[in-house]
Amino acid sequence: MNKHVEIRPFDPKDAVAVRNLFIQVNRLLAPPGMADAFEEYIARSLTDEIDRVIDYYEERNGGFWVAVVDGQIAGMFGLEPSAEAAMELRRMYVDPTFRRRGIARTMLAFAEDECRRRDRPRMDLSTSELQPDALRLYRSSGYTLVHEEIAAEQSNKTLGGGIRRYHFTKALGL
C-alpha cells in the first residue's frame, strides 16, 4: 500500500469534500452533448446516496471510506453486499490532482482486504467506457470481465444514456 495514503472510514466532517469530489469527477466524465444527463445523474445520486452516505451504506450492511493525503481527501470508495459471498465496490474516485500516485490501487487493495475481513471471498465492480484508467486498473489487478451492457436506464448506480458498462469480478479467497 501507498505509505502516504491513509484510508479511514467516512466521517460526517468529510461530507462536503466527498460531495465535491463526486460532482467534480462526474462532470469531468461527461462527454460532449451529455452534460444535462450527467447533471441529472449527479442530482439523483446526491439525493439517493452521497448526501446520506452513512445511512445509505449502513442500510445495506456496507461501508464507505476516504483516502487522505496530507490532510486532504484524495479519494473515496464504498462497499455494499452484492451476493451472499460478495461485496460490490462503489464510488471509487480519485481527485484529479492526486492521480497517478497509486491511490486507486491502494484503495482497491484495502477494499479487497475489507471483503476478506467480512468473510466475502469475492468482489464485484462495474465501470463505464468513459473510465479507461479504471478499466486498465481492474484488468491489471486480476478482475475478470463477466458482463457488458449498454445502460439505458438511469439510477444512482448508472447514468444510463446508452453508455457501455463493464461488470467485473474477482475471487479473493479468505
117 assigned to some structural domain: yes
157 assigned to some structural domain: no
Place of cell 458482463: 147
Q: What is the pLDDT of residue 24?
A: 96
Q: Is residue 156 predicted with pLDDT exceeding 50? A: no
d(CA 114, CA 100): 23
What are the φ/ψ torsions at residue 41 (nearest 5 degrees)?
-60, -45
131 assigned to some structural domain: no
CB hemisphere CA count around 154 (13 angstroms): 13
Q: Which three cell numbers stand for residue 5?
A: 495514503
Q: Is residue 122 predicted with pLDDT exceeding 90? A: yes
Q: Is residue 63 predicted with pLDDT exceeding 60? A: yes
Q: Helix, strand, coil shares of the chain as percentages rounded to 5? A: 40, 30, 30
Q: What is the pLDDT of residue 160?
A: 55
174 assigned to some structural domain: no
CATH number of domain containing 63: 3.40.630.30
153 assigned to some structural domain: no
6-26 confidence digits (pLDDT tens): 999 999 999 999 999 999 999
How much is the average pLDDT of 113-134? 94
162 assigned to some structural domain: no
User: Which of the residue ranges 38-42, 57-61, 101-105, 151-155 would you say has the lowest mean pLDDT?
Assistant: 151-155
Q: What is the pLDDT of residue 166?
A: 93
27-40 confidence digits (pLDDT tens): 998 888 888 888 98
How much is the average pLDDT of 69-84? 95
143 assigned to some structural domain: no
pTM: 0.90
Confidence of residue 155 (pLDDT cuts 50, 70, 90): very low
161 assigned to some structural domain: no
* Structural domains of the chain, count: 1
Domain of residue 82 covers 6-124
How much is the average pLDDT of 70-91? 96
